[in-house]
Amino acid sequence: MSSAQGIGASIKRKEDRRFLLGKGQYTDDITLPDQSYAVLIRSPYAAALIKKIDAAAALAAPGVLAVLTGDDVAADGLGGIPCGWAVKNKDGSNMVEPPHPGLAHGKARHVGDPVAMVVASSKALAKAAAKLVDIDYDVLPGCGRLPEATAEGAPLVWDQAPGNVCFDWHIGDAALTDAAFAKAAHVVELDLVNNRVAPNAMEPRAANGHYAAANDHYTLYTTSQNPHLTRLLLAAFTLHVSEHKLRVIAPDVGGGFGSKIFHYAEELLVLWASRRVGRPVKWTADRSEAFISDAHGRDHISKAQLAMDKDGKFLGLRVHTLANMGAYLSTFAPAVPTYLYATLLSGPYDFPAIYAEVKAIFTNTVAVDAYRGAGRPEATYLLERLVEKAARETGIDRVELRRRNLIQPSQFPYQTQVALQYDIGDYQATLDLALAKIDYAGYAQRHAASAANGKLRGIGMSTYIEACGIAPSALVGALGARAGLYEAANVRIHPTGSVTVFTGTHSHGQGHETTFAQLIADRLGVSTDNVEIVHGDTDRIPFGMGTYGSRSASVGGSAIVKALDKIVDKGKKIAAHLLEASVADIEFRDGAYRVVGTDRQKAFGEVAFAAYVPHNYPIDTVEPGLEESAFYDPKNFTFPGGTHFVEVEIDPETGVVEVVDVAIADDVGVIINPMIVDGQAHGGLAQGIGQALYEEVQYDADGQLSNGSYMTYCMPRAADLPMFKVGNHVTACTHNPLGVKGVGEVGAIGVPPAVINAVLDALAPLGVKDISMPATPEKVWRAIAAAKQGKGA
């Protein structure tokens, strides 16, 4: 049944109808009987002592049920928000892991740090009462950016972190890398900033907590990418209520991009407040609140050096990176600039030596954690800017230089110098496909046409790799993860042959309700109309680790396939009995069990029915029913890769950069639904182009946020983007049963350096050598102006 609905079919999405009719159910859409509403009062200061909170006037205001503070959190014994990944320093000692109470206690450490919570019978009353809470702050000096936080004598975010250093970590072989640089014919050096961005899922975060005293049971509706992880952290660390008394539901979730992975304080606070006030408590972020309370992404400052021989062969790479952690350690924050960044620094290239140092720094800003790509865009940006600079400095053509250094298909499995072992890929094939899609040969003509119109045209590229499907539990455990990263699935065949699949992954736009149904159609021959995929509810699904890092198909899909294998095997025993044949002679194909070499067969539906109505049944050896669960622990990361090309036109009078063409060729492994895969690439590209040209969270030196709304933070809009040319070349992943790799992040990873390389290509004739992201009209205009004055840039 692979053709019409199975693997490889672009069937339309099953989930679309409810969204198109306005019948989706997002967290804020859910209003419970006797609902009350919470508003958080957040610190307006980057660093301040909280001297006194006077809630008397607020408590006397109409409809107010409670005003809760850090003192109440402490008095009730709530646990701090934990960090899920512990990174070691170079000397083997532990990173600095400061406390993170649900409400700031004694000191606020960033703009947006929650200081008090007002609960009232309506949102309007809660908002009005929040204005009556009188908080006496003693404002302290803060540091909002990496240069200030690492300067001599910088104010300390945490007294226990001298120099604001969270950890000082390294990977690779320093001596081997030094030796490689000693014999280099050419060394290329580059200083880079990877700009801080806000994830900006269109649905702001929300949480609705309900404590039922009758059975001492808690229910949380939350905008989460991984409800089971949230439940685990609530149970073990923050609320201290064990799992059997705690249900976490992540209903329809309006995008995540990483920002909804993490366990946030509000999830704890609404459950706790519900217990205290005896009513369900709902909190929903405003967009401006999201800017100061959602974890941000990126925010690196790096120095990179590339050693090459006389022919342009890469000999070694040396990288030093400062990574901003914010004021508190978010759930996966320490893993992002280490095991998801520095381990990717080999890119798709054959590097004999690499050494990278990463220093993670506390600042008085909201936390920085995984955002679409999480570490891999930072690695790709560094490497591809560096390779482009190498091409320019050596005069070797940009495509040729990459070709000389790409890992060859014959080299797989390829062991990098930074821990990862790539199982398979064909980087030349994706490069060739991308060259064709952009019409590289025709570029000179397009450049001339732009010039005739008074525009500066540039072309830029990147060849990239990423690591998805995180990851073997034993491996991540050895690297400091405090969780396993397997996935769970339960496949329930109903008596009439329809199927419900319970998956521990979570869909917040990715289309799992369709893609996973296609796996069932493919394996069992059941129409996708008769399959329902259930996700996002800890009471319905056995367990799960959720969706991030493009892991849903490779890890979650593999768990489903494992459960399906068990279903098929059990069905064989039932079919053998019904067909009076030996199990060894039964094969399952095209939705039917057949006796090999005969025309005798039983349809899957007949076998399912027999399992539930076991009148004629091998009851002594086979249990009735047809339902199987499986857990799948991945054997390795998967390694998508590819080539991205971008062409830009720049108006030299205004500095406006127009993206005129984007052509990409990715290898994301076996493709289940091409329509959905292309859509994932489109979205990633838009976010990557957004980072390259428009987006930047701007904190000042002291930690004040200057652009925390859509009035001032530039989101990419429809008119900013072209149609995207997307191609795929498939090499099947070697270690999971579907051969899939993952597509959720490739766009955001590959494209930012291609955009900036294109901008620099356009500006190169003027003598501009560097520009930072986002390449805004002002920056580009200034670079052009400076170049004209002969200063370079």
Partner 1 sequence: MPTITLRVNRKNHTVECANSSLLVDVLREQLRLTGTHVGCDTSQCGACTVHVDGHSVKSCTMLAVEAQDAEITTIEGLADGNTLHPMQAAFQECHGLQCGFCTSGMVMSTTELVSRNPDPSEPEIRHWLEGNLCRCTGYHNIVRAVQTCARGSRGGTP
Which stretches of the chain bind partner 1, using CB under 8 A? 12-13, 15-26, 28-29, 31, 124, 200-204, 252-255, 257, 286-288, 508-511, 675-676, 678-679, 682-687, 709-711, 715, 717-719, 721, 723-724, 747
* Closest distance of CB 602 from partner 1, Å: 36
By beta-carbon proximity to partner 1, the closer residue of 82 and 722 is 722
* Closest distance of CB 362 from partner 1, Å: 29
Euclidean distance between CA atoms 676 and 683, whole angstroms: 11
By beta-carbon proximity to partner 1, the closer residue of 101 and 199 is 199
- Inter-residue contact 333 to 365 (CB < 8 Å): no
Q: Which candidate, 665, 628, 623, 615, places its Cα nearest to that of 645?
A: 665
Q: How far is CA 724 from CA 127, 371, 585, 661, 662, in A?
A: 44, 22, 50, 7, 5
Angle at 629 between CA 628 and CA 631, to 5 degrees: 150
Can you read off the two tokens belonging to residue 634? Answer: 């991945």
Can you read off the two tokens belonging to residue 99? Answer: 């406390």
* Closest distance of CB 747 from partner 1, Å: 8
* Closest distance of CB 293 from partner 1, Å: 14
* Closest distance of CB 33 from partner 1, Å: 13
Q: Is the dihedral of CA 197, 202, 204, 210 positive or negative?
A: negative
By beta-carbon proximity to partner 1, the closer residue of 213 and 723 is 723
* Closest distance of CB 374 from partner 1, Å: 16
In three-state secondary structure terms, 628 is strand
Euclidean distance between CA atoms 767 and 765, whole angstroms: 5
Euclidean distance between CA atoms 640 and 642, whole angstroms: 7
Q: How far is CA 73 from CA 16, 105, 265, in A?
A: 41, 9, 11
- Inter-residue contact 776 to 689 (CB < 8 Å): no
By beta-carbon proximity to partner 1, the closer residue of 214 and 723 is 723
Euclidean distance between CA atoms 702 and 704, whole angstroms: 6
Euclidean distance between CA atoms 411 and 425, whole angstroms: 10
By beta-carbon proximity to partner 1, the closer residue of 588 and 694 is 694
By beta-carbon proximity to partner 1, the closer residue of 107 and 455 is 455
* Closest distance of CB 223 from partner 1, Å: 10
Q: How far is CA 691 from CA 287, 373, 382, 772, in A?
A: 19, 12, 14, 11
Q: In what order do the strands lie in the sheet with 724-728?
A: 456-465, 641-650, 657-667, 724-728
By beta-carbon proximity to partner 1, the closer residue of 89 and 288 is 288
* Closest distance of CB 675 from partner 1, Å: 5
Q: In what order do the strands lie in the sheet with 627-632?
A: 531-534, 499-503, 487-493, 627-632
Euclidean distance between CA atoms 151 and 560, whole angstroms: 51
Euclidean distance between CA atoms 6 and 329, whole angstroms: 42
By beta-carbon proximity to partner 1, the closer residue of 204 and 480 is 204
Euclidean distance between CA atoms 583 and 338, whole angstroms: 50
By beta-carbon proximity to partner 1, the closer residue of 462 and 736 is 462
* Closest distance of CB 778 from partner 1, Å: 21
* Closest distance of CB 201 from partner 1, Å: 6
* Closest distance of CB 658 from partner 1, Å: 12
Q: Is the dihedral of CA 436, 439, 440, 441 positive or negative?
A: positive
What one-character DSSP code corresponds to residue 246? E
For residue 245, report the phi and psi dihedrals to the nearest 5 degrees.
-110, 15
- Which residues does 526 contact at the CB level (< 8 Å), separation at least 6? 497, 498, 499, 520, 591, 604
* Closest distance of CB 240 from partner 1, Å: 33
By beta-carbon proximity to partner 1, the closer residue of 408 and 712 is 712
* CA-CA-CA-CA dihedral for 10, 14, 19, 21, to nearest 10: 110
* Closest distance of CB 721 from partner 1, Å: 6
By beta-carbon proximity to partner 1, the closer residue of 464 and 724 is 724
What's the farthest any 2 CA atoms get from each other in the chain? 91
By beta-carbon proximity to partner 1, the closer residue of 27 and 194 is 27
3-state helix, strand, coil in the chain (%, to 5): 30, 25, 45
* Closest distance of CB 681 from partner 1, Å: 8
**Is the previous residue joined to 774 through a cis bond, with omega within 30 degrees of 0?**
yes
By beta-carbon proximity to partner 1, the closer residue of 203 and 357 is 203
* Closest distance of CB 289 from partner 1, Å: 8
Q: What is the DSSP string of 319-372?
A: EEEEEEEESS--TTGGGTTTTTTGGGTTTTB--S-EEEEEEEEE-SSS-B---T
By beta-carbon proximity to partner 1, the closer residue of 346 and 510 is 510
By beta-carbon proximity to partner 1, the closer residue of 28 and 702 is 28
By beta-carbon proximity to partner 1, the closer residue of 19 and 440 is 19
Q: Which candidate, 587, 784, 549, places its Cα nearest to that of 792?
A: 784
* Closest distance of CB 337 from partner 1, Å: 24
* Closest distance of CB 752 from partner 1, Å: 14
- Which residues does 787 contact at the CB level (< 8 Å), separation at least 6? 763, 766, 767, 768, 793
In three-state secondary structure terms, 778 is helix
By beta-carbon proximity to partner 1, the closer residue of 12 and 183 is 12
Q: Which candidate, 568, 571, 577, 581, places its Cα nearest to that of 619?
A: 577
* Closest distance of CB 746 from partner 1, Å: 13
Alpha helical stretches, state H, 492-639: 512-524, 558-579, 604-612
By beta-carbon proximity to partner 1, the closer residue of 204 and 544 is 204
